[in-house]
Amino acid sequence: MLAGVSDVSTQVVGGSFPGLRERLRDATAHAHRDLDAQLSSFDLTVFSGYRRFLQASAGALLPLEAALVEAGVVRMFPDWLKRSRSAAIAADLERLGSDTQYTVSVSPLTHSGVLGAMYVLEGSRLGAKFLMKTVADAADPRIGEATAYLSHGAGQRLWQSFLSKLQNEEACDEDEAIEAARAAFAAFEQAADRA
């Protein structure tokens, strides 16, 4: 049983999700803060720190995106190929002379779990905008040439379209969505620990 989550599975039906975004945000706020603090230990302005950050990110992103594909994310998000960042992070790591590795395992996702995991991944684009500002200050030109992951989807309104999908989804088990969002944050924390 997850702390702060009702014993009774909350089923929302009818195409309206007022407050689901807020419930996901509130339920994952602690994990989000912890992950931000953990990732702030990577110095993105130096080559080794930036490469470790990308390795940590890839360690969680790759298995999460694989789990999303296995769960049929493309049925819920037909624009999945525009959203997926696995190729972008692999290209960045290749530019920096590193390979990509799954460093954590991710459990299979349910329909509602897809929404929870996507909440974390799509929301991370907002943080990427701020990280790009830090990377722009790096003196090493190799860092600036490896920003496909951080800049992925810029100007495409992917977060806004995700929120629209979240609001208009016909059915979602909120407990499952929250559990999957927490698991996604935990995957990034574990990958950062191992980087």
Name all domains of the chain by residue range, CATH numbers in brackets.
17-194 (1.20.910.10)
- Tokens for 137? 């200050």
Q: Which phi and psi (to 5°) does residue 172 adopt?
A: -155, 130
Residue 186: what pLDDT?
Answer: 97
What is the CB neighbour count within 10 angstroms for residue 22? 10
How many residues are present in the chain?
A: 195
Q: Which phi and psi (to 5°) does residue 79 adopt?
A: -95, 25
What does each C-alpha distance from 26 to 99, 111, 167 come to in angstroms? 35, 21, 17
Q: Which residues pair with 172 in a beta bridge?
A: 12
Task: Say what angle helices 111-136 and 158-168 make with each other, to 10 degrees.
Answer: 160
Residues 6+ apart with CB under 8 A from 131: 44, 150
Residue 102: what pLDDT?
Answer: 87
What are 81-133's pLDDT values in tens digits? 999 999 999 999 999 999 888 889 999 999 999 999 999 999 999 999 899 99
Please list the ranges in the chain whose pLDDT falls under 70. Answer: 1-18
Residue 2: what pLDDT?
Answer: 34
